[in-house]
Each structure stands twice: as C-alpha cells, then as structure tokens.
C-alpha cells in the first residue's frame, strides 16, 4: 500500500500533519485521526499542502489493510513526528561537536 503524508502549508491548520486518504485532480482528502477522522476527511486544495516524500520504513508498515483506520492514521503521524524530532536532535548534536 502506498501511503502518503502531507503538511498543510496554508489556512488555519497550517503546519499540521495529515495522511492523504484520497486524491482527485486538484483536491486531496486528508485525515489526522482526531479532529479529521477517516470517515469525514478534510478537503484541501493540492496547492496548499506539501507532500512528505521520504518516510521511514516503520510508518509504511503501520498500514496493513487497504482501508485506513483512525488508530493507524494517528500512529503514523506520531511515528513521523518522533522521527523528525530525532533527526533534528541528531543534527544539533553533530553541529556542536
């Protein structure tokens, strides 16, 4: 299963991380598992998001089925945030040495 995460780049939800549930020509449907569940995804213009291309392997393994579940969406976003925090901390440490 090809999973995509995206960061909102405009609007009141700027800088929020979402999972792309469905894609159309100029629109994407996004879910975060909490405020925007899979059953009622957020509709957003494709121009207003940034797709995250490099995902750690553990995030792609979270989704086991074709159907998304809110628990899996929340877990994938949480794992991505942890991996970004780890990488930023790693970069800071290497600059200090």
Q: Can you tell me the distance from the alpha carbon of 80 to that of 6, in angstroms, rounded to the nearest whole number?
A: 11
Domain that holds residue 10: 5-96
Q: What percentage of the chain exceeds 70 in pLDDT?
A: 85
Q: Decide: pTM greater than 0.85.
A: no
Burial label, 19 (beta-carbon count in 10 A; 0-12, 13-18, 19+): buried
CB hemisphere CA count around 1 (13 angstroms) = 16
Tell me the pLDDT tens digit for each residue of 22-68. 999 999 999 999 999 999 999 999 999 999 988 888 887 777 666 78
Q: Can you tell me the distance from the alpha carbon of 69 to that of 51, in angstroms, rounded to the nearest whole number?
A: 20
Give the number of domains in the chain: 1
């Amino acid at each position: 299963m090809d999973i995509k995460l995206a960061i909102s780049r405009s609007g009141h939800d700027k800088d929020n991380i979402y999972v792309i549930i469905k894609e159309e020509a100029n629109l994407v449907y996004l879910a975060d598992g909490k405020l925007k569940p899979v059953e009622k995804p957020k509709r957003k213009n494709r121009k207003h998001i940034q797709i995250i291309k490099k995902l750690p392997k553990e995030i792609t393994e979270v989704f086991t089925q074709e159907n998304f579940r809110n628990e899996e969406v929340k877990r994938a976003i949480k794992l991505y945030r942890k991996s970004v925090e780890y990488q930023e901390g790693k970069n800071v440490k290497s600059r200090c040495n």
